[in-house]
Structure formats: structure tokens, C-alpha cells
Structure 1
Amino acid sequence: MNVLAFDIETIPDVAGGRRLLGLSDELSDADVAEAMFAKRREKTGSDFIATHLQKVVAISAVYRNSHKDQFSVWTLGNEQSTEAEIVENFFAGIDKHTPTLVTWNGSGFDLPVLHYRALINGIQAARYWELGEDDSNFRWNNYIGRFHLRHTDLMDVMAGYNNRAFAPLDEIAVLLGLPGKMGMSGAHVWEQYKAGEIKAIRDYCETDALNTYLVYLQWQFMRGQLDATGLAAEQAVVRTALAESEPHLIAFLDAWGQGRAS
């Protein structure tokens, strides 16, 4: 198993919004964002910003390579990293390790955002975009194909590729005895960002990546890729790592322990 389960957190791309809406440089970022929200509400009835105007502020990941006995949870870059540095770091990791990517709604949100932000920031991602021209192994299993497992969008797969059956990660996680959302949600990221609480955003993103990875383990058990012993062993790897980790991950472990038996 060579898996990278990840999640992203975003804010409005106020620089892009300023250009597209023709707004003055004297207008504050907060006011530009409010104008973007208003424009979006006028167009769609929702203030959820369009994918290409979502700026990445955090990418958190759970990496598991069972062949090398590696497990880690981390957020790319640091609190001062630019969007370009974060996105470039993400695609560089794919170039280096070629992991199976695991997401919840990654096809609908995370990856399209990363596509646009890599394009806008001038970032190359050759391995990610490989479709079999240089590596025949990617011809029928690549990161782009919806029905391929090199990128496994668990929400899409579990819904049978039927958007009427989509479910929130938080609810599925809780049903499995996992912590789900801890302390905040994606809807609060912009307010947290304006308040300078970058660490809180990064910590929250890591817990979402953990929820995603642990749901993935249950899915691997369901489809017979792990037996009961293997599932318990993989969960034990996570528990051991979290027990020796940072406070927000220890809190995740404690909340996990309060759920139903694995």
C-alpha cells in the first residue's frame, strides 16, 4: 500500500477577484471577498466561490507506505508558505512517490482547485498528468480517469458515481465511530484566515485527512483488500503514530476512542 489521503483548505482568491471584478487596489481584501460572495450569490444563489477562484492555504496529508513501514500525518510547507510553494510541493510528492491519491469529493473540488491553481501559478505536474504516453502503466489507470483507482474519490465511489447518493465525510466518519469534524468546518476557514489563525486551519485540515484515510481503510476491508486482522493492524499503526504526536492529533485519537468499536 502506497497511499496519500489528502484534503485542502481554501479562501477566496481576492487578487483574482479584484482583477475580474475591476475593483480598486484601495479596497480591502475583506471587502473584495464580500464583493465576490455577493456576485456569486447573485449568479447561483450560494456564496460558495467558483472553483477557479479558490486559493489554497493548506494541503494536509496522511501518507502510508506499508512496504517501507512508513506512516505520517503532516501539512505541506509551513505557516508562511505561499500558495505556489504549497501546490508545487504537492505535485512534487506525486512525482517522487506516485502514490494512490485518496480523497472525499476530490474529483468535485480538491483536484479541480489544484488544477487551476497549478495553472495560474505556473507549476508543472508531469507525473500527475501522465495518461500513458510515456508510461504505459498509466494508460488504463491514471489520476485523471473517473473510474480509475490511482485517484480514489471515496465519495464518488461509495455513491456508485451517482451524485444523488453523495454523502458528507463528516457524517460517514461519525457513523464509523470516527471523530468527524473537530472544532471547525471549511465554512469558517476565511474568518480564521483573516484572524491570522493559520495553524488552526492546518490542524483542522490534518484531522479531515485522517478521517478520509480511516474511511479508506474501512473501504479496503469492505472490498476484501484487507481482512479483519489487516484492518486492525493498519488502524493500530495510526493509533501508535497519533499517540506520540501533536495535541490536536492526540485529541483526534481520544475522540476516536470514544466512538464505536473498530
Structure 2
Amino acid sequence: MIPHLVFDLETIPDADGLRRLHDAQGLDDAAVVEQALAARREAVGHDFMPLHLHRIVAIGCVFRDDRGFQVRCLGEPGDSEAALISAFFKTIERYTPRLISWNGSGFDLPVLHYRSLIHGIAAPRYWDMGEDDRDFRYNNYISRYHTRHVDLMDVLAKYNGRANAPLDELAKLCGFPGKLGVDGSQVWPMWQQGAIDDIRAYCETDVANTWLVYTRFRLLRGEIDQTGYEQELAVVKEALAALPGSHWQEYLAAWAESVR
């Protein structure tokens, strides 16, 4: 098996960036962000911030290769955004994995692009489109229809945004746990409460869901057969059962309940 890297970001509004852009010196982070969210709602009817103003606070990953299945958030809870981004791109530099995401083309990768630009983080392997490695001319991470990055939501929707489906619902319909009571809209309040461990736990379960749905997709494509599919689910269950953290106990319990 070639290395596969499933990834998902958790972000909060970039208070420092907002302070710089809107000359809001003297205001604390909460006040700066609430002011920006209110202005955004007034301007466009919702408070989802432009992608370049999302600060990354967690990057959840599943890494799957011949050695096994691993799931975790990169770095440590107190690491800077730049350190998290560097760790992500260093993994690509080292392993050249196939990237798997749900809406990675629409959200996660553009955010990583903007934030790595802001921090000046080089990622030559990721950005290569054939200049250094000839094979990347025909299959690279940047081109939408190549397979070095598979945005599973985009592929399943036939690249039609009107057909997009939410990961939580698809996972549950396939018999997987889906989200465990947390969604992305809650990350900023959780961050304000200092609940970074809970944010990271939520992010980890999201990439587990993505890998499970991708495994079902591999079955559809004929990449694995029914036996291989069931074996992969067993590998994931065994790996998760060995991990610390109450979120994995809850996740496995929800998985068992979903297939009854």
C-alpha cells in the first residue's frame, strides 16, 4: 500500500491578523473577533470568515501504510500555527503520501496555502508540478483532477458543488460513527474556554470518519474486495481500541451502535 495521509484542520478567527488589518490595537482577542464576526454577518449574512483569516489550531491526521494505521493530531497542544503547518508539510516531504480529505480543495488546502504564505513555510514537494519530479507533471497535489490529493467530497459530487454532502451524514449512512456532538462552529467557543484537548479529540475523530468513508470508496472502485474492506475495518477498530482517550471509547461505542 502506498502511504495515505488523511487530514483535517480546525481553525479559529485570526485575531492578530484582524487586529493588523483593522487597526484594532488595544482590544483583546475576543473583542477583536466578535467585532469582525458582527461585521461579517452585517456584510454577507453569515459569520464564516474569509479563508486567509482562519488560524489553524489543530491538524488531525490518519497515516496508513503497510506498517499499520495511525491517527493523531500533529504536534502538541501548545504548538504555534507555524509549527503545525511545518509538521504537515514535512510529512509530505518525507513520505509523498496520497492526501485524502473531505472538502480539502474547498477549505483545508487553501487555508494551508494562505497560512504557509503568511509564515513563509516552504513545501517544495507539495508544490512540485513536474519541475523537480517528472511524474508530478501528470499527477500532483495541486491539480483538481489528479489523484495525489483526493478530495472525497468533490469526487463523489462529480465536482459539482450543488451535489456536495456533509461528512457527518455520509459517515452515519454508511454505518460509521460520524461526529460525536461537536462541529466546526463550536471550535472558537471551545478555544476561548481553553478546551484545546477537546478540539484535538474532535479533529481526530473527523479524520477517522474520513478514512472509513474512503475505505468504502476504495471498495466501490474495486481497489479492494469485500474481504479486504472488512479486514481494513478490523484494523481500524483494533488500532482505535488500543489508543488512550475517552473520545475513542465513545467513538467505538457509537460505531457498535450504528451497525445494530
Q: TM-score, structure 1 length as denominator?
A: 0.96
Hey, what's the Cα distance between the residues in 1 that align with 2:78 and 2:190? 15
Hey, what's the Cα distance between the residues in 1 that align with 2:197 and 2:41? 30
Q: Which moved more, 1:30-39 or 1:99-108?
A: 30-39
Letter of the 2:7 counterpart:
F
Letter of the 1:250 counterpart:
Q
Whether the 8 Å CA contact 1:176–1:260 is kept in 2: the answer is no
Letter of the 1:63 counterpart:
F
Q: Which residue of 2 aligns with 1:248?
A: 247
Letter of the 1:214 counterpart:
L
Coordinate RMSD, CA, aligned: 0.9
Q: Which moved more, 1:84-93 or 1:238-247?
A: 238-247
Residue 22 (1) aligns with residue 20 (2): no
Moved over 3 A (4+): none
Number of aligned residue pairs: give it: 258
Letter of the 2:59 counterpart:
I
Hey, what's the Cα distance between the residues in 1 that align with 2:4 and 2:249? 22
Q: Which residue of 2 aligns with 1:46?
A: 46
Whether the 8 Å CA contact 1:40–1:48 is kept in 2: the answer is yes
Match for residue 103 of structure 1 among 101, 104, 108 = 101
Query: What is the deviation of 1:258?
Result: 1.3
State, as a whole percentage, how many aligned pairs show the same letter: 52
Hey, what's the Cα distance between the residues in 1 that align with 2:138 and 2:65? 23
For structure 2, which runs of at least 5 residues remain unmatched after alignment?
none
Structure 2 counterparts to residues 1-262 of structure 1, below 5 A: 1=1, 2-24=3-25, 26-66=26-66, 69-246=67-244, 247-260=246-259
Hey, what's the Cα distance between the residues in 2 that align with 1:161 and 1:21? 36
Deviations along 1:208-251, one digit per CA (max 9) or x if unpaired, are: 00000100000000011010011111111101101111221122
Q: TM-score, structure 2 length as denominator?
A: 0.97
Hey, what's the Cα distance between the residues in 2 that align with 1:141 and 1:256? 35
Deviations along 1:44-68, one digit per CA (max 9) or x if unpaired, are: 21100110000000001011002xx
Hey, what's the Cα distance between the residues in 2 that align with 1:41 and 1:129? 35
Q: What SS does the aligned partner of 2:142 have?
A: coil
For structure 1, which runs of at least 5 residues remain unmatched after alignment?
none
Query: What is the deviation of 1:39?
Result: 2.2
Hey, what's the Cα distance between the residues in 2 that align with 1:42 and 1:22? 19
Letter of the 2:181 counterpart:
G
Hey, what's the Cα distance between the residues in 2 that align with 1:207 and 1:4? 14
